[in-house]
Structure 1
């Protein structure tokens, strides 16, 4: 098995975003040529493009920005659990086969192949009761390979509200297609964006 898994989707102009969100765009502010020794680009994007960490500010008007959160949840022992094509909501029963002695971080694979090139209105999300039970088990961070831990059409964001109330952190848009179930070290540090509601991450898993 490989020692290092890159679980981040590619980010480019065609990368899917939540409908109405800002897509990735890159322009060149400077290019190498006579009188200019470097290429310099200007980026426009939503902080929810690609693999990303939501800040409490995303779902709580008084919540912390992503640049203010503790980094500890984004680094350390992690378990990948498969719940592939189990329906619109991941329930505790879908995870029960792999919840013994859980580490503080749990990533759930719901896709056979994660759609890195298109938006999926039927994305799988967490049942809020599942988040509650993971928190009860000592989990501090949850992640998923879909674009949201709540259904795409949710207006109440029930699972995000459990995350807020229980003080958990969340990663979304991970690519877990080729990652076997098991325990790893997660490295997925957000940028220190002091007023932002989320941050892209370069998420990787390292085999123990």
Structure 2
């Protein structure tokens, strides 16, 4: 069987979120007991908890919600590129070694070890020019192993605005610690949340055969 890499961080109480965003919470609405045959939980969370797909509605007041998006960008050939500890912005020079004949999906690893249990205010992000050049190369989806493709303190969201203008899709909060550079099949389908600005995904990479 082809090998699978689970590139989703754990989602649980204490999972990091942007300051001010809704953290993950869970309570039991029903518990197995005499007269009750099941456990049923109630969840509260931001759709940006864990690995997630941003929808255009997240960064464009007239953008599509996540549940109406075409699923094709989230499934198919993908390249993982390492740009580990290269500074606050991933520039074209940081990924130029791996951009020959790019598939339509590119995921960039910036952490040596992703901080799955803490918020990182110094997270690495994409330089907007990098997104432009990836779009020029035919890339339809970009992903990163940090909480945002823009710096945590950005108020202009320049890379998100390039994504909006060029019609790309984005995955954030991936965990690429164990994934070698190379080509894979990406499977990271968002939920059909028809009015939401994002959706959690269970993101996996499958070995190509």
Counterpart residue number, 2:100: 100
Number of the residue aligned with 2:117:
117
Q: Distance in 2 between matches of 1:182 and 1:104?
A: 14
1:135 aligns to 2:135 (yes or no): yes
1:1-208 matched pairs, under 5 angstroms: 3-208=3-208
Deviation at 1:107, TM superposition (A): 0.1
Render the CA deviation track for 1:76-119: whole Å, top value 9, x for unaligned.
00000000000000000000000000000000000000000000
TM-score, length of structure 1 as denominator length: 0.99
**Whole-Å separation in 2 of the counterparts to 1:149 and 1:51:** 13
TM-score w.r.t. the length of structure 2 is: 0.99
Structure 1 stretches of 4+ with a deviation exceeding 2 A read none
Show CA shifts across 1:156-192 (max 9, x none): 0000000000000000000000000000000000000
Q: Provide Cα deviations, 1:51-93, integer angstroms capped at 9, x if missing partner.
A: 0000000000000000000000000000000000000000000
Name the CA distance, whole Å, in 2 between partners of 1:120 and 1:157: 17
For structure 2, list consecutive stretches of 5 or more residues without a partner in the other structure: none
The answer for unaligned runs of 5 or more in structure 1 is: none
Tell me, in whole angstroms, the C-alpha distance in 2 between the residues paired with 1:23 and 1:13. 7
SS state at 1:95 partner: helix
Partner-residue secondary structure (3-state), 2:186: strand
